[in-house]
């Protein structure tokens, strides 16, 4: 009788553990970056990772230090959401923004290609900008869906 109880208890615990795992997977936490937080990863400090956002998705571009590090050609793009600059292939300070207002069809297509073909393929996603995850009033945006990135495992720092 005593053993039977142990078996039942063990079975119940296993079911609970499985459910908990499922729930955790369903709501994988994402790291949220405010503009100020993202700015800390602009490559200006040696040893700090370098982050850059496109379409509100924050990529760790540290392995591309030769492009993005301090003094490198594309350093202006990092520590911020540079969607417009990437879409237009421009380093004009006015284009260093998330804002896509008025971009042409072909610029938007080019943005998609670079987003998928370069950034999602090459650099791990480490989080999302608050603009992408939250509504203007700060409430969660229920349409938010994290990007898949099957080539990379999710980083532990979340």
Note the residues at the interface with ligand HEM (CB under 6 A).
64, 67, 74, 77, 85-86, 89-91, 118, 122
Return d(Cα 107, Cα 157) in angstroms, integer.
34
Closest to ligand HEM by CB, 65 or 134: 65
Closest to ligand HEM by CB, 76 or 134: 76
Closest to ligand HEM by CB, 100 or 130: 100
Closest distance to ligand HEM from the beta carbon of 66 (Å): 8
Return d(Cα 116, Cα 21) in angstroms, integer.
30
Closest to ligand HEM by CB, 53 or 86: 86
Closest distance to ligand HEM from the beta carbon of 7 (Å): 56
Return d(Cα 157, Cα 103) in angstroms, integer.
35
CA distances from 158 to 29, 32, 65, 109 (A): 7, 9, 23, 31
Question: Cβ-closest residue to ligand HEM?
Answer: 64
Closest distance to ligand HEM from the beta carbon of 43 (Å): 13
What is the Cα Rg of the chain in Å? 21
Closest distance to ligand HEM from the beta carbon of 138 (Å): 31
CA distances from 134 to 73, 121, 155 (A): 32, 26, 22
* H or E segment to which residue 53 belongs: strand 51-54
């Amino acid at each position: 009788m005593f053993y039977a109880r142990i078996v039942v208890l063990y079975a119940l615990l296993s079911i609970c553990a499985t459910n908990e795992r499922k729930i955790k997977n369903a709501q994988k936490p994402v790291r949220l970056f405010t503009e100020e937080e993202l700015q800390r990863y602009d490559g200006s400090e040696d040893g700090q990772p370098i982050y850059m956002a496109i379409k509100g998705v924050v990529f760790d571009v540290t392995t591309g230090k030769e492009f993005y590090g301090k003094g490198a050609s594309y350093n202006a793009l990092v520590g911020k959401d540079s969607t417009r600059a990437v879409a237009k292939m421009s380093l004009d300070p006015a284009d260093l923004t998330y804002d896509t207002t008025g971009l042409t069809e072909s610029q938007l297509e080019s943005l998609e290609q670079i987003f998928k073909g370069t950034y999602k393929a090459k650099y791990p996603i480490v989080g999302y900008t608050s603009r992408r995850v939250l509504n203007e009033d700060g409430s969660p945006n229920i349409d938010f869906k994290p990007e898949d990135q099957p080539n990379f495992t999710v980083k532990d720092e979340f």
